[in-house]
Structure 1
Amino acid sequence: MNTAPVPTPIGEGLKAAFRTHPAGVAIITANTPDGPVGLTASSVASVAVDPAAIVFSVTRATGSAGAILAADSFVVHLIDDDHSALAQTFAVSGSERFTTEQGWATLPTGEPHLAEARVALRCRPIQTVPVGSSTVVIAEVLEVLPGTAGRPLVYLDRRFHPLPHDTHL
């Protein structure tokens, strides 16, 4: 029997703390035997440069998250404000995804690719670590695909927010 985790005061406090901690926004995509899958993530961070590696987490191992966990490779798109509506689309199950109008193409290696993203990182999983109802993914970056830089986008208090154009990162 699979039961949902019971909220604890510390867990609720952690969620409240991170609602006020801005995070970058990414769309993670993979190709599967059933077609392309993707999700929006705000947990992406760099881990190392030699080997080049990143980390992110997904909150369940079903649906798009489960498909990405099972994939041999995936692409992490670091996106800007121009793609905030697309990020919202990939955050909601059942939304229309991977249309030509949204700007998707397919890499020679088979993964869905949003060429207009600030940068895309083609990766392969190195290790996954289950933590409660989440899974942490450590991935090696195989390829860095530069795109088009726009206004940076952050996730804060359950909403997407653009940063000013003159923000120097």
Structure 2
Amino acid sequence: MARKRCSSCFRWILLLVTAVCALVATGPGVVATTLLTMDVPALSEMADCVLEGEIRGTRCVWNETHTQIHTYVSFDVTTVHAGECTPGTREFRMLGGAVADTAMIVDGSPSFGAGERVFLFMRDESNSNFPIVGWKQGKLTFTIHAETSAERIGNVHVGYFDRDELIFAVQQAREGR
């Protein structure tokens, strides 16, 4: 009798494992974003423009076919550190955002907030969904160090720098372009 019960349990376990494997194999796919790790020289070399300024605001809208959400970022350029861009207000588009109760999240894409002071490594592609070089890596934010009260610019991906150090690194990389 004990042998028959074990055989029955084994069949149920085998059936359960098979069902789980079938669900995993036919379920929705998982999509991931893989980014090449970049430092300031790499970001500088790939950027058409290296800009400093303040985010004025963002607005999110559906595309014409209601299949994608785009975020439009309004940016006051105060300083052009490299490239042929001009100071002033410019707007660029990023894929992803939230409209009403629907969000489209693009992993690895930077987020922006009104009033945020930033240093951006940008491509000059007006219709691009990803104009920031290196995605999150190419957006450096001005912050105040909690212990020293010194102003720093950076992010967790490329590190933190004082302003002069960062500008020098950009200039050095651009000269070697």
The reply to whether TM is greater than 0.5 is: no
Greater share of residues in helix: 2
- Identify the structure with bigger relative contact order (alpha carbons < 8 Å, sequence gap 6+): 1
Q: Which structure has the bigger radius of gyration?
A: 2
- TM superposition score normalised by structure 1: 0.25
- TM superposition score normalised by structure 2: 0.25
Greater share of residues in strand: 1
